Structure 1
């Protein structure tokens, strides 16, 4: 299957963008990327559409051969045109690599997100049960609450671990292709028939550039919820005159 990329500022059907450059001449074919098929004028004047055989994502990163710079027969303009071709190839390859690498991780993430949402729902259910709990049963209900908190923390920690893996893969793709040609993880998931629209995946720095004592993203969200719930319980106990709970 042949894939195309139009080097222009407007998205083509492949969803890839770049700079408008002239067509690479056939005389440079010995320097073409192995996946390169052809280049032809784009839909608008000055645009170029590059055609490539489908990338698997397992190929080496496309790099223009260094010998091009030593070839006296290649002009500066031709080097620029070849550079454009390899830029296009790198974008296509980066997206194929993300699909190849992220697919198994996305599938593995599905039950972990389900476990988190179930644990969060249980935590909220146990907390709301205080509204119906008799005064003499509050301590028992607090035990249920701490159990639910621990389960939610374990689920959030497991999720953050796999979310970091996905965030790293996404960051690698952007580092190669640039933000203008980002392939979103949610789009890769959709291609696999998965709905990742609600998944909590932060940028990679949120997982790797943390200060000492800071939690990972979802654990921080959970910690804020738990602290708010406990403060409310302490406030109620204080108002009720229960000094032991307060």
Structure 2
């Protein structure tokens, strides 16, 4: 089905209708031929209609696949002396609308396979986190003589959680980059959220943790991605509690050497 986009633009440079109150009658200006600019329309453009609100225009386009080149107004428009300033502005609004719809189609195209790939990775991370918490909880029921065995289980669970986070972040970083690319083209007001794309695919991504694209860029001043930071804090809190218990029990060997 055709895609539409409503845009608001001013009626003149000040955003208000122009008015003239001449003191003397002015002879009508000779009619000026209006250039036909349809040759400059985007190939997907169908029509433009007044929007619901004053100053808004709704643009209709044939569906974009996302595989097309980024819609850009032809450079010939700027060299064509028959095109008026107002016509050039209208063409600019049309191409702005085309870029927005194209960017959304491209995000659906590129993010779809990654979202499907991400679903089991998020489940794996949730399972690893649950196992880590369950193993830590097991210390409440572990006899003193078996703490070392439980510590081994804990370090295994920590490693499994770290690996699950690493696998998730590979995909999350790619999704964050695609989302940022879409915003750069369309602007924040016309952002297509990844959760919406996932919902269209029958996936519930409402609980997924996907940061901003720069969260996945190398940074010497940041310990890791948002999920890595969360996991690091949880592991640190668990180990601090075990050291505290070891100190109280006088078992420094378990509390300090095993958890160093």
Q: Does TM, scored on the shorter chain, surpass 0.5? A: yes
TM-score, normalised relative to structure 1: 0.92
Note if contact 1:21-1:81 (Cα within 8 Å) is conserved in structure 2. no
RMSD: 1.6
Distance 1:107 1:194, change over 3 A: same
How many angstroms does 1:21 deviate by? Answer: 6.5
Q: Does 1:176 align with 2:185?
A: yes
Following the alignment from structure 1 to structure 2, what is the Cα–Cα distance between the partners of residues 66 and 29? 15
Specify the alignment match of 1:2 in structure 2: 2
Runs of 4+ in 1 over 2 A off after TM superposition: 19-22
**Among 57, 78, 83, the residue aligned to 1:69:** 78
CA distance in 2, matches of 1:122, 1:151: 9
Does structure 2 conserve the Cα–Cα contact (< 8 Å) formed by 1:160 and 1:217?
no
1:47 aligns with 2:56: yes
Which residue does 1:111 correspond to in 2? 120
Question: Which residue of structure 2 aligns with residue 199 of structure 1?
Answer: 208
Q: CA deviation at 1:47?
A: 1.5
- The structure 2 residue matched to 1:88, chosen from 83, 97, 103, is 97
| Paired residue secondary structure (2:155) | helix
The aligned length equals 234
Q: CA deviation at 1:26?
A: 8.9
Give the TM-score, by structure 2 length: 0.87
Q: How does 1:1-246 map to 2 (within 5 A)?
A: 1-8=1-8, 19=9, 27-211=36-220, 214-246=223-255
Unaligned ranges ≥5, structure 2 = 13-33, 256-260
Q: Secondary structure of 2:49's partner?
A: strand
Answer yes or no: is the 8 Å Cα contact 1:52–1:89 preserved in 2.
yes
